[in-house]
Structure 1
């Protein structure tokens, strides 16, 4: 890749609000600073007030980006500082031939981080929400997700599952079209980064995502938040839940979660928007004396999302009959 290609890639990332910094050519190492904090002498212009690392140097400023990737410089790669960018990037690796496959993954016949993540999502009734996706030179995958506001995540290395790492505050990822050796990082899904899926929220922080028994709020499916047909689908499913008769509550909620889960899996509806709409509907039932609990509601919605994820639905597709068999 040429310097022009790298500049274009860096500016494109910055346009998404992601903070970028240069990497040494054909490596994953930051180009600046060229010293560690313990070796900082303060002679670097940006370290005169104290050591300034790559994360603090990362920027969205076009002038600084153009200067860093100018025609007078080598073809620096592109790093994205995840913390300042508000990202949690899930790094899915592949099994390296000749290395041992740990249990239970060997018993399950799982060989890739993608399959591990899919297994973890299924075990928690979750959905791997479609999002901005990059293929790495090693054949792995980077899934870019936006972190919830006010929540600070660190990095993980194999603690979620085998071949699954995450990069957040204090971490960075190599961005397209950076080349390492003879292979490049390539965008395979260019949609906006989606919010972090609920099952990953559970895995990355100790608090379980549950609802409160507070008074219900009215869900406002405004067309500036979701497409009109999606807003109509949300309103329709919410109405079915809130109008459920006695002893039909759980079944109606599950069916509604399956229907909206199909839209989530199709990439046209944010999982948290669907989740909040359904929990608001369930609160209406609880306010009327339904004996279901917030934990049961959470479990039913997640189960429905997982079932729905098997049959993604987008404009022009029909709803799968699996909903009737639930």
Structure 2
């Protein structure tokens, strides 16, 4: 079972201008002050990743909104946030979401990263409250500190977060921005 962070993935994420910070080895919850630690400097990653630490991606420091699409194991039918987003695309006559930097979570979910302007104040929402549909979690820059995600190369429960689409971070599509800001 792999329990160490893959160093190449954080370097590639930093190369996409994602601001990274330290998470405990095997963990998801940052220490206080993580907002000040977030950096895009690949040289700083050596210290951040010491002792097999995981990494987080700070949305405000990175100027991104990230969609967290989970595949939930439930007692009944599996809930799939990826299908929820596909339904939103179908409603708009779109065939697929934009090609953007994407990581796969340990349970086959996806983190889709989208670039936003420094003036963007989209906050983080979870579960049924998301204007994009039930279950789609949004991590945004918000007004002050913003949200974060566990970054690619991290390992939680012995399972890795992997980069599955290593391309530049695309701009947040207008229809998603409008939906998140206005609920429409």
Which bin holds the TM-score, normalised by the shorter protein? 0.7 to 0.9
Deviation for aligned residue 1:86: 0.8
Match of 1:178 in 2: 154
Q: Which has the higher contact order (CA 8 A, sep 6+)?
A: 2
Given the two structures, how large is their TM-score scaled by the length of structure 2?
Answer: 0.83
In 1, Cα distance between equivalents of 2:73 and 2:183: 34
How many residue pairs were aligned?
Answer: 175
Q: Does 1:67 align with 2:67?
A: no
> 1:190-238 CA deviation, whole Å, 9 max, x = no partner?
1111111222112111297xxxxxxxxxxxxxxxxxxxxxxxxxxxxxx
Match of 1:166 in 2: 138
Deviation for aligned residue 1:54: 0.8
Q: Could you tell me whether the CA contact under 8 Å between 2:70 and 2:136 is conserved in 1?
A: yes
In 1, Cα distance between equivalents of 2:39 and 2:109: 26
Q: Could you tell me whether the CA contact under 8 Å between 1:133 and 1:141 is conserved in 2?
A: yes
Q: Normalized per residue, which structure has more helix?
A: 1
Alignment RMSD, CA only?
Answer: 2.3
Given the two structures, how large is their TM-score scaled by the length of structure 1?
Answer: 0.49
Q: Could you tell me whether the CA contact under 8 Å between 2:103 and 2:165 is conserved in 1?
A: yes
Q: Normalized per residue, which structure has more strand?
A: 2
Which has the greater radius of gyration? Answer: 1
SS of match in other structure, 2:51: coil
Q: What residue ranges of structure 2 are gaps of 5+ in the alignment?
A: none
- Within a 5 Å distance, the mapping from 1:152-301 to structure 2 comes to 152-158=121-127, 159-160=130-131, 161-169=133-141, 170-206=146-182
Match of 1:124 in 2: 92
Q: What residue ranges of structure 1 are gaps of 5+ in the alignment?
A: 34-52, 102-109, 209-326
Q: Could you tell me whether the CA contact under 8 Å between 1:146 and 1:193 is conserved in 2?
A: yes
SS of match in other structure, 2:86: helix
